[in-house]
Structure 1
Amino acid sequence: MKMAIISVSDKGRTLALKLKDKLDDDSTVIRCDLYHKNVKNYFPVLFYEYDAIIAIMASGILIRSIAPLVESKVTDPAVLNIDDNGNFVISTLSGHLGGANELAHKISGLIDATPVITTSTDVNKKLGIDVLAKDLYLTIDNTKEILYFNKAILEGNELSFTINPNKNFDYLFEYLNNNTLEIDLSIYYSSKISVDEIHVEIDEHKIILKEKKIVVGIGCRRGKECEKIYDGLKKSLDDLNIMPSRVNMLTSAEIKKDEKGILELSDKLEIPVEFVEIDKLRLFESRDVTKSDFVYSKFGIYGVCEPSALIMAGFDSKLIYKKTSYDGITISIAVSN
């Protein structure tokens, strides 16, 4: 997640610096930038450049600033509102699909504040269909149906999930098992459904959830064992609450195409691995990729795991886990748009 923290007072700026210091150490935070004052000029830029905006200011200033920019729960960024004293973290916009509710809990834990959540499904301890989609990195084909589905869930109505029997959906089963008290459902199987889709129905209404492509980029020293690479991968996935069965692909640079540990990991997890050509890595540009002079001195490229993951996840993909090192192994994770 790319975050912007914007403040208007000196006290707020001090809190912003404190918060940024903590977020910079978080592998799930790809970038965290600070902005101060000039709210009217900054917000139109921040709204389209970042996944989340943390506004340390009075709620009136924030609401008047974002009101002309709000478009859709599908595209709007997560917006949090924090008072200058850091007492409350309010999920203000895009609580579900944008992740503001989850982020409010996270940020409040970092600064010892009280999270404020107002969405109906959350306050009634029910699982929204849009929350499920966000948590499992799924797209929703008809977002206009979200309100109907969440209302039905609040009323305790049963949903039916239909999936392809030839696909490993362990990640879905575990997720649903962890939320059995929050949603009433039945699961059906049909080979007519695409392997990357989950069809959800209630009454005469239907939503199709489709997997986004999750790609794990791997870099490692020569000869690293499969188990060591797996340990690093598992730690990274745990940080994102992603099960290995949800990963669509492993990837690395072509210089690693004979790396035994990576190939064995692919076999072990039954996840395909692809190796990216050096020329593609050399030409790839993204301000979110960490550049390593050491890697460049050895291979003529500035990075392996991050650019490989972004390239294989496809055009307009984004990092959800920045390069993180585990004793000679680097892991990053990208997801398709």
Structure 2
Amino acid sequence: MKIAIISVSDKGKKLALDLKEKLNNDSTIIKADLYHKNVKKYFPILFDEYDAIIAIMASGILIRSIASLIESKVSDPAILNIDDNGEFVISTLSGHLGGANKLTKKVSSLIDATPVITTSTDVNNKLGIDVLAQDLYLSIDNTKEILFFNKAILEGREIFLTVNPNKKFDYLFNYLNNNTLEINVSIYYSSKMEMDEILVSLDDHELILKEKKLVIGIGCRRGKECEYIYEGLMNSINDLNIDKSRINMLSSAEIKKDEEGILKLSKKLNIPVNFVELDKLKLFKSNDVEKSEFVFSKFGIYGVCEPSALISAGFDSKLIYKKTSYSGVTIAIAISK
């Protein structure tokens, strides 16, 4: 998640600096940038450039600043509102699909504040269908139906999920079994379903949840054993609460195509690995990728795990886990749009 923190007072700026430092230590935060004052100038830019905006200011200033920019729960960034004293963190916009509710809890714990969340499913301890999609990195084909299904969930009605019997959906079953929020579902199987899709239905209402392509980018020292790479991968997906059955692909640079540890890991997990050509890595540009001068001096590329993950996930993909080191192994995670 890319986050902009904007403040208007000197007290708010001090809180913003402290929060930025703490967020930058979190591998799930790709970057956190600071902005101060000039809210009318900055907000239109921040809406397009960031996944989330943390506004340290009075709620009136925030609401007036974003009112004309709001378009849809599908595209609007997560908006959080914090008072200058850092006592309350309010999930203001895009609580579910934008991830504002989750971020509110994270930020609250970092600054020892009280989280304020008002979405109906959350306050009633129910699992919204859009929360399920967000947590499992699934796209929703018909977002207009979210309201109907969440209302049905609030009423305790049974929701039907249909999947292809030839595809393992362990990540879905484990998620439903382990989630503490309430949802009444029944699972059905149909060979007519696409392998990467989940049909959600009730009465005459339907929507399709489709897997976004989730790619683990791997870099490692020469000869690194499979067990160490596996350990790094598991630490990373555990940070994101991702089941390993949800991974669609492993990826690295072609200079690693004979790396036994990576090849054994691919076989162990039964997940394909894509080795990206050096020419593609040399041409690839992204402001979100950490540049390594050491890697560049040896191979002529600025990185392995982040760019290979992004390239393998496809055009317009984004990092959800930045380059993180684990004893000679680097892991990054990218997701398709």
Query: For residues 113 and 181 of structure 1, do their structure 2 counterparts lie closer, same or farther at Cα, with a shift above 3 Å needed?
Result: closer
Give the aligned residue type for 2:155. Answer: E
Give the aligned residue type for 1:6. Answer: I
For 2:253 and 2:185, locate their aligned partners in 1 and report how far apart those are by CA, in whole Å: 43
1:317 is aligned to 2:331: no
Aligned-residue offset at 1:180: 6.8
Residue pairs, 1:1-337, within 5 angstroms: 1-179=1-179, 182-337=182-337
Output the TM-score relative to the length of structure 2. Answer: 0.99
Give the aligned residue type for 2:198. Answer: I
Give the aligned residue type for 1:81. Answer: N
Secondary structure of the residue aligned to 2:29 is coil
For 2:146 and 2:124, locate their aligned partners in 1 and report how far apart those are by CA, in whole Å: 17
For 1:44 and 1:207, locate their aligned partners in 2 and report how far apart those are by CA, in whole Å: 32
For 2:193 and 2:263, locate their aligned partners in 1 and report how far apart those are by CA, in whole Å: 30
Q: How many percent of aligned residue pairs carry the same amino acid?
A: 78
Query: 2:159 touches 2:200 (CA, 8 Å); kept in 1?
Result: yes
Dislocated runs of 4+, deviation >3 Å: none
For 1:277 and 1:208, locate their aligned partners in 2 and report how far apart those are by CA, in whole Å: 34
Provide, for residues 281-308 of structure 1, a one-character-per-residue CA deviation record: whole Å limited to 9, x for no partner: 0010000000000000111110000000
Secondary structure of the residue aligned to 2:62 is helix
- Structure 2 unaligned blocks of 5 or more: none
For 2:181 and 2:4, locate their aligned partners in 1 and report how far apart those are by CA, in whole Å: 35
Aligned-residue offset at 1:166: 1.0
Aligned-residue offset at 1:179: 2.9
Secondary structure of the residue aligned to 2:11 is helix
Query: For residues 10 and 180 of structure 1, do their structure 2 counterparts lie closer, same or farther at Cα, with a shift above 3 Å needed?
Result: closer
Give the aligned residue type for 2:250. Answer: L
- Structure 1 unaligned blocks of 5 or more: none
Give the aligned residue type for 1:114. Answer: T
Secondary structure of the residue aligned to 1:274 is strand
Output the TM-score relative to the length of structure 1. Answer: 0.99
Provide, for residues 175-228 of structure 1, a one-character-per-residue CA deviation record: whole Å limited to 9, x for no partner: 011237600111011111000000011111111000000000000001111110
For 2:180 and 2:12, locate their aligned partners in 1 and report how far apart those are by CA, in whole Å: 41
Query: 2:5 touches 2:35 (CA, 8 Å); kept in 1?
Result: yes
Provide, for residues 65-101 of structure 1, a one-character-per-residue CA deviation record: whole Å limited to 9, x for no partner: 0000000000000000000000000000000000000
For 1:286 and 1:184, locate their aligned partners in 2 and report how far apart those are by CA, in whole Å: 42
Secondary structure of the residue aligned to 1:264 is helix
The CA RMSD measured in Å over matched residues stands at 0.7
Give the aligned residue type for 2:288. Answer: D
For 1:185 and 1:244, locate their aligned partners in 2 and report how far apart those are by CA, in whole Å: 23
Secondary structure of the residue aligned to 2:296 is helix
Give the number of aligned pairs. Answer: 337
Query: 2:127 touches 2:181 (CA, 8 Å); kept in 1?
Result: no
